Structure formats: C-alpha cells, structure tokens
Amino acid sequence: MTHLERMDLVYFWTGSPALPASEDGFQPMPSVTIRPADDAHLPTANTCISRLYIPLYSSRATLRHKLLLAIKTKNFGFV
C-alpha cells in the first residue's frame, strides 16, 4: 500500500486521520475480525471500538481490491 492508502486505512479503521502521538496509543487497540467467506461484500469497520471486519476472501488479490475499494469510497455511516 502507498503511504496515502495506509493513512486512509487507519482513518477507515479507527476514525482517526493519523496514528496517535502519545505513548498511550489507540484506546481501545485496533483489532481485526475475520468474517465468514464472502467475495461479494466489502470490509467494514466499527470506529468506536477500532475494529476492522474482513470477510475471508478467496485470494489476496480479492482482499486487496475490496479493501482499497472500501477505504477509497469514504462513505461513512451506520450500517
């Protein structure tokens, strides 16, 4: 991922535009939850608890494509 894509991922995942500067870091710590296999859906995130939900995709290429699509959409809201 490029630097900008990584920044977008942090924002998508945590709701914070950058990594925290303090030694305490994120509270709560970001985590990833793997969902059941599903190539049809995009990853989602719960920014209140810094949790990223990723379906178990059939390939790395599908994971990369879906994750980049999700973070570039910038259509945030309740799902």
Q: Which of 21, 37, 48, 79 is catalytic?
A: 48
Query: Which long-range CB contacts under 8 A does 24-32 form with residues at least 24 apart?
Result: 26/50
Residue type at position 77: G
Q: Which helix (H) or strand (E) element contains residue 34?
A: strand 31-37
Known catalytic membership, residue 68? no
Query: Would you name the residues annotated as active-site residues?
Result: 48
